[in-house]
Copies of this chain bind each other. A is one copy, B any other.
């Protein structure tokens, strides 16, 4: 590295803990849903901290809050970091907040060391990543990346009838159209929200991309009849058909690592111990980082469903309700993260992002990289979500070095490939 940067573990941890007071729940978690008053308080605190670190703040029309640290050559595209400040209703202290606070810590470390970069550096708090109050999730980053229309997003209403536009206005978070150019690269730090890093005893997950996914809803229809008087060979048992599909999904997932296939929700009618079920509603989802493999998994799933339906004399109504292609991240961004981990001697591994993130939306339009750090037991979207200060600091240090490699200090650094 041309210039050494050291992030401050305690400052990062203390900022995370101070932020977590806004919307803190008795069980130790956070309830700070998008565009609520509490979200507004978190935005204000983040803004104040960024100004102290020499940044200028702006918001765009969907309320994405962007702190900008000018570059020596300020007309160049910025290097952007970010994540989100909103939480699930029973969320934790780290999901999203970590990525924003890690970006802030990079700004603070640069500011404290008086380091000047060629390119401007930006840290974004994306609006409504969780989708808990307003669907869909990743709303701010999707609008930013042109994957969702601004007007469509502004018109979404919560269960109390409040629109995104109204909620933005209430907390003063709606800004003007962003005239700036696209950033040159985007980096996001996040807790893994999965068990792999902990199981493999790695500190840093070098994220190779977001896996593709497709979601299905199906209804199997058979014939209800008495479980004691209907011979086995005269049955149309919708639950037996569903069970075959659930088992097939599990086998399909296992046969295509690192893919996943899951049935998570089932509703049975009449759901009585001695009545053969005549109707089952079932959800299925299939994920894989390689879209071609995922397509093959989908074909296997459909064949298994057809077979189960035929064997059990059922009718099947199957609908695909979501399809998102895989989002491989930029090889140079990935390399910059891997090299930063190696430089610091952090145990690291390549990992797929199983969950969706703002980085997945950003990867559609700019070179993107992502840093994962472990969270205890892989637990997230839960008030018990927990992470180690040392791991969070390591992820932040990697983030800082990857960003600096792109933002360029005195001696321009060409990212290695």
Contacts and interface: CB of A to CB of B under 8 A. Distances in A.
B274 A230 contact: no
Contacts of A277: 264
Contacts of A287: 227-228
A225 interface: yes
A265 B260 contact: no
A120 to B, nearest CB: 33
Contacts of A211: 228
Contact of A381 (B226, B230, B261): B226
A225 B266 CA distance: 17
Interface string A257-281: 1111111111110011111110000
Contact of A247 (B230, B244, B273): B244
Interface size class of A (residues with CB under 8 A): 35 or more
Contacts of A266: 239, 266, 268, 271
A7 B6 CA distance: 102
Given A193-B226, A227-B285, A240-B247, A264 B274 contact: yes
Given A195-B234, A237-B250, A246-B239, A229 B354 contact: yes
Contact of A230 (B194, B226, B232, B259): B194
A243 B232 contact: no
A213 to B, nearest CB: 7
A180 interface: no
Given A233-B254, A271-B266, A355 B228 contact: yes
B229 A378 contact: yes
B273 A230 contact: no
Interface string A170-197: 0000000000000000000000111110
Contact of A271 (B233, B234, B265): B265
Given A231-B260, A237-B250, A265-B268, 19 more contacts: A192-B229, A194-B231, A195-B225, A196-B234, A213-B228, A215-B274, A226-B355, A227-B260, A227-B285, A229-B353, A230-B260, A230-B354, A232-B254, A232-B259, A240-B263, A244-B247, A264-B273, A265-B271, A267-B271
The 7 residue pairs across chains A and B that have the minimum distance between CB atoms: A194-B229, A229-B354, A243-B246, A228-B354, A227-B262, A243-B243, A273-B283
